[in-house]
Structure 1
Amino acid sequence: MYLLFPGRHQLLTNFQFHYLLGLLSNGLHTARDIHGKALPAGDIDAIVFAVTSANHSNTRRNPLPFYLRALAIREFTATLGVPVYIYGIDDVGSLSNFATYTLKRIRHESDGQLDLHAGNTAVICSTPVLEMYEPLGFPILPAELTDRRTWQHNTALPWDVVEKIATSGAWEDDRYIHDHMHPSSRALWQQYRLASKVQLLFRDTMIGDDGDITTTRDYNTYVRQMDTIAALKYTDTAPYIRPGRVGDIGCAVGSWIKLACDDVRLRESDFYGIEVARHLFDICQQRKHNGEFKNPFVFFSQRNAVTGLAFEPNSMDTIHTSSLTHEIESYGSRADLLVFIRNRYAELRSGGVWINRDVVGPENKHQSVLMKLNETDGSDDDVFKAAETREALAQHLEGLSTAARFRRFARDFRRKEGYTLAYEDVEHQGARYVRLSLGDACEFMSRKDYTDNWESEMHETFTFWSFADWKHALEEVGFTVVPASKAYVNEWIVDNRLVGKVALFTVHGGELMPLAYPVTNMLLLAEKK
């Protein structure tokens, strides 16, 4: 008889050890399943650990990578005197027959050696996961579970201990942790300093449980956009890269690093890509496995560089960020952004440079302007229509006129953050305009065509700081802003998204005066002297 023990196994407990030891010492026939029935007599041939979410790490839900979890299990079972098999089971999203997938994965990974079924296997499980195995006929050993109706347990579950470590100031001296955490896990967590990592992940309010800033982003669209503009980003930034240790924070799918690896000036450099979003990090790793980077010294890490250092202090020659800092302000806070700036200063060597390419606001964002919107380039029907899917919403928005899309934008823009976009409809010499601040006008102009990811984009702000604001914040930390830094108008955006759609005016002496399109982007070169 086999014992199948599915779970994320971020750590192991003393209860689990003694539970398994009891089954091995006393025999399965002495155990009772979840219905109180005795299991058939027979020896335990092996214990099979199915480590779920094995492809996830560095997130609140799954802080430990699979290899560390496997190491802990190996030490945990070393004295049990029975064969132990450990298999990583990747997360595949919400799957109703995940138990069947797990069993097939184990059979495949073991080359058919382990064909687990209800006739030869009992499942150890004390969480609702057991309801995936029960319909397949498996006997369920309840372990910590005492009441299935309320999901009450007679002792702490492993995740309870993880959460306790996450909030404990001195976890090694905590009696609760000491009483429940098995020594094998304790030794591993001490050796690899995992507690501080978990505490950092749990403090991070920007990142979700599974390691993403936003859950409303279509990553297929996002990846295509990143690859499409990668060459432009690299051309803008390449002249300012200092060879040596080069880091790209928020590296997306690694496109900027890939182009840097082709640059002969950087052939002796080491490249470090930092990406917090699991989907994008996985793509980076796959591209590396595919041999897409000419330089072999390319390393990717999944971590959040906002609340902590991404690199060792005084270690980097170049740090590159692109389209990242506005997300920190948008999904985090001003305090998070200021911490991010200080962290980059700490990581650079003397003479190192932080290259920050991002959106930027106009210097006079509070100025009142009139905005003329095209009313005939689409529909005005059901502007605030609700849509069940991202695709349906995008299709609806694409069909709206620019004027109608502005009304939808004015309602949706940072509504969940409590922001109210103030505007009024006015007439001037028989024509209709919208009066609003220049900053809010820029927010609309910069986002009006992002229909594929509308819900995600509505959380983001682009104009919170002007170029002068940025320069001041960098100098406050100690950076010197290199003279080549600049704010500029993206002419492609003007030609393809604004001309014929949106026009801006000011009023002087009762007459309308055309206003040039404000800056859209910036290239900031911050040097650590």
Structure 2
Amino acid sequence: MYLLLPGRHHLLTRYQKEYLLHLVKHGLSEALDVFGNPLSISKHPTAIIFAVTSANHNNTRRNPLSLYQRAMMIQDFSRELCIPSFVIPIDDVGQSPNFASYTLKKIEVETELKLQLTKENTIVLCSTPVANLYLELGFFVLPVEKVPGPKLSFYAKLPWEELEDIVSKRKQEAENKNPSGSLAQSNSDHPIQIPSSDEAILKSLDPACIRLWKDYGLFEKVDMLFSDTLIGDDGDLTESRDYNTYVREMDEIAELKFQETKPYVKPGRIGDIGCAVGSWIKLVGKDPNFAESDFYGVEIARHLYQICEQRKENGEFANSNVFFLRKNAVSGLVFPRMSMNTIHTSSLTHEIESYGGRSQLLSFLKNRYEELVMGGVWINRDVVGPEDKEREVFVWMEEDSSRNHGRSPEEFSNFKEYLDSLSTKERFFQFQQDFRKEEGYVLRTSAIYVDGIEYHRMKLKDICEYLSKKDYTDNWDSEMHESFCFWSFDEWKKNLESIGFRISPQSSEYRNQWLVKNRYEGKVKLFISNSQNPNKSEDLVPFDFPVTHMLLLAEK
């Protein structure tokens, strides 16, 4: 008789060990199922199958451990059980009513049909609502930690509750040692250590679990993952991004990024942080000047990281020394100190500011300085704000292109169609309502009429934010979180120089002329005035569209 124990298995507990040992030694006949009834099965367990769910996910709050780490822990844990144990990876398929059936079929495939689990030869061990999926298939289910019956009570904490308890206790310990409240980084010279005598944290964990977590620094790893405000539970920067659109855009502009940055790349160890789908590395790796270089792509978004690994497996990179890491470059170093000749980032730093805040951006800047060798360069290509961003300007916006006719968003099949139906001025009002609303930002404007023409008075940075986002109607929700104009080019240079960087004179800020020609002209006009209340057209002076992007070369 097989025992099937499905779960993510990031932690294994003493209670689980005792429960399994009792079943192995004393058999199944007296074991109570989820309804409180004895199984009355005379057979003894002959093997335990650990179905490791979300096996293809790791390095996130929901799934901190990789599959190989979980497998090693399970095998160590199983030594005392004295019957065979099998670790079967079950990849994530989201919320599915057929998940139990999928798991059983995956076990068959992974074992080449050697393990065919049925309701006649298998007992399921599960203490979560997943048990209901197996009950529907006719399996007997043992509740493990849960008290049998309808009452929601437990003999012991579930493994995930134990993990959250560890995080909470370590956070409290860190705050007691560091009144500022920040947790030690996983790459710190002095990470927080949990003393082996700390019964409050370790008493519930199986020794196999403790050994693995200590040997692989996993206590420190979950400190970082759970304290990170930049990424979500599944390790993505934003949950509102359409990745199909995003990937296509990354590939389309890869050549532009490559041509703009190529003259400044220094051979040796080359890192691309926020590498998306690896397009920049792919192009640089083809250049003979970098044939002897090693390339390291860093990507935190799970979906994009998986694409990078697939491209590598497909042989799309000319240089064989290409490696991809799924790590967070904000919370700590991703490369050893003084190890990188070139670090490249593109369209990343504004996202750190937007989703993580100023403190995380400053941490990111300092980490890049630490990672470079003397003479190394960080190439940062990103959007930038205008120098005089707090200045008030007067804005004319076209309104003749409207196809909306007063309809509300609910009258369209999707929000993109609604946005596309709006004129430039109408869409601005939607932008004013949505832009960084969750972050508490208020975009203030006032309308004036000069010679019968309507203008809107606002800060230069606000109209620049709108111009940069007004045409991204397929990713509107994501774009509304992102701030482009928080620093001007001079402010960028001053902040980097305060850390120790030298800014190369070849650095530049510029206006994307394609954007001006194709998306700004005819849609928006900017004016300035010496008068607080201009009342005739002569009071308004045309104002050029400000810079949109920068290429910043920060040398150590």
Asked if TM exceeds 0.5, the reply is yes
- Say if 2:16 is the partner of 1:16: yes
Matches of 1:446 and 1:488 in 2, distance apart? 14
Q: 1:291 aligns with which of 302, 311, 315?
A: 315
Q: Report the AA paired with residue 253 of structure 2.
A: I
- Residue deviations 1:79-122, cap 9 Å, x none? 21211111111111221211111111111111111111212111
In structure 2, the residue matched to 1:154 is 155
In structure 2, the residue matched to 1:471 is 493
In structure 2, the residue matched to 1:515 is 543
- Say if 2:460 is the partner of 1:438: yes
In structure 2, the residue matched to 1:526 is 554
Moved more, 367-376 or 58-67: 367-376
C-alpha deviation, 1:42, in angstroms: 0.8
- Say if 2:352 is the partner of 1:328: yes
Report if the CA contact (8 A) 1:125-1:142 is conserved: yes
Matches of 1:125 and 1:268 in 2, distance apart? 52
C-alpha deviation, 1:151, in angstroms: 3.3
Report if the CA contact (8 A) 1:172-1:178 is conserved: no
In structure 1, the residue matched to 2:73 is 72
TM-score, normalised by the number of residues in structure 2? 0.92
Q: Report the AA paired with residue 526 of structure 1.
A: A
Residues 401, 115 of structure 1: CA spacing in aligned structure 2 closer, same or farther, 3 A cutoff?
same
Q: Report the AA paired with residue 528 of structure 2.
A: T
Q: 1:498 aligns with which of 503, 506, 520?
A: 520
Map 1:409-424 onto structure 2 (within 5 A).
Answer: 409-424=431-446
- What RMSD in Å do the two structures reach over aligned CA positions? 1.5
Report how many residues are paired: 526
- Say if 2:144 is the partner of 1:143: yes
Residues 49, 205 of structure 1: CA spacing in aligned structure 2 closer, same or farther, 3 A cutoff?
same
In structure 2, the residue matched to 1:367 is 391
Matches of 1:208 and 1:148 in 2, distance apart? 35
C-alpha deviation, 1:129, in angstroms: 1.4
Report if the CA contact (8 A) 2:427-2:470 is conserved: yes
Q: Report the AA paired with residue 425 of structure 2.
A: A
In structure 2, the residue matched to 1:178 is 202
SS of the equivalent of 1:146 reads coil
In structure 1, the residue matched to 2:261 is 237
Q: 2:238 aligns with which of 192, 214, 222?
A: 214
Structure 2 residues not aligned, in runs of 5+: 174-192
SS of the equivalent of 1:343 reads helix
Q: Report the AA paired with residue 407 of structure 1.
A: F
Matches of 1:384 and 1:265 in 2, distance apart? 56
In structure 1, the residue matched to 2:187 is none
In structure 2, the residue matched to 1:109 is 110
In structure 1, the residue matched to 2:416 is 394
C-alpha deviation, 1:178, in angstroms: 2.1
- Residue deviations 1:399-430, cap 9 Å, x none? 11111100100100001100011012221111
C-alpha deviation, 1:383, in angstroms: 6.9
TM-score, normalised by the number of residues in structure 1? 0.97
In structure 1, the residue matched to 2:177 is none
Q: Report the AA paired with residue 19 of structure 1.
A: Y
In structure 2, the residue matched to 1:192 is 216
C-alpha deviation, 1:38, in angstroms: 1.9
Matches of 2:487 and 2:261 in 1, distance apart? 21
Moved more, 419-428 or 355-364: 419-428
Matches of 2:218 and 2:271 in 1, distance apart? 24
In structure 2, the residue matched to 1:37 is 37
Identity of aligned residues (%): 53
Residues 149, 348 of structure 1: CA spacing in aligned structure 2 closer, same or farther, 3 A cutoff?
farther
Report if the CA contact (8 A) 1:360-1:462 is conserved: yes
Report if the CA contact (8 A) 1:383-1:404 is conserved: no
C-alpha deviation, 1:150, in angstroms: 5.3
Residues 380, 403 of structure 1: CA spacing in aligned structure 2 closer, same or farther, 3 A cutoff?
farther
SS of the equivalent of 1:79 reads helix
- Say if 2:376 is the partner of 1:352: yes
Matches of 2:201 and 2:96 in 1, distance apart? 33
Q: Report the AA paired with residue 376 of structure 2.
A: G
Matches of 2:375 and 2:408 in 1, distance apart? 52
SS of the equivalent of 1:327 reads helix
Map 1:22-61 onto structure 2 (within 5 A).
Answer: 22-39=22-39, 40-61=41-62
- Residue deviations 1:337-393, cap 9 Å, x none? 1111011101111000000000000000111111111101123444762589xx711
In structure 1, the residue matched to 2:121 is 120
Structure 1 residues not aligned, in runs of 5+: none
Q: 2:427 aligns with which of 378, 387, 405?
A: 405
SS of the equivalent of 1:433 reads strand
Matches of 1:386 and 1:322 in 2, distance apart? 36
In structure 1, the residue matched to 2:480 is 458
C-alpha deviation, 1:508, in angstroms: 4.4
In structure 2, the residue matched to 1:449 is 471
- Residue deviations 1:491-518, cap 9 Å, x none? 1111111111111111246522211110
- Say if 2:277 is the partner of 1:276: no
Matches of 1:44 and 1:33 in 2, distance apart? 15
Report if the CA contact (8 A) 2:274-2:348 is conserved: yes
Matches of 2:43 and 2:292 in 1, distance apart? 62
Q: Report the AA paired with residue 324 of structure 2.
A: F
- Residue deviations 1:155-204, cap 9 Å, x none? 12212222233231443442133211111111111111111111111110
SS of the equivalent of 2:514 reads helix
In structure 1, the residue matched to 2:511 is 489
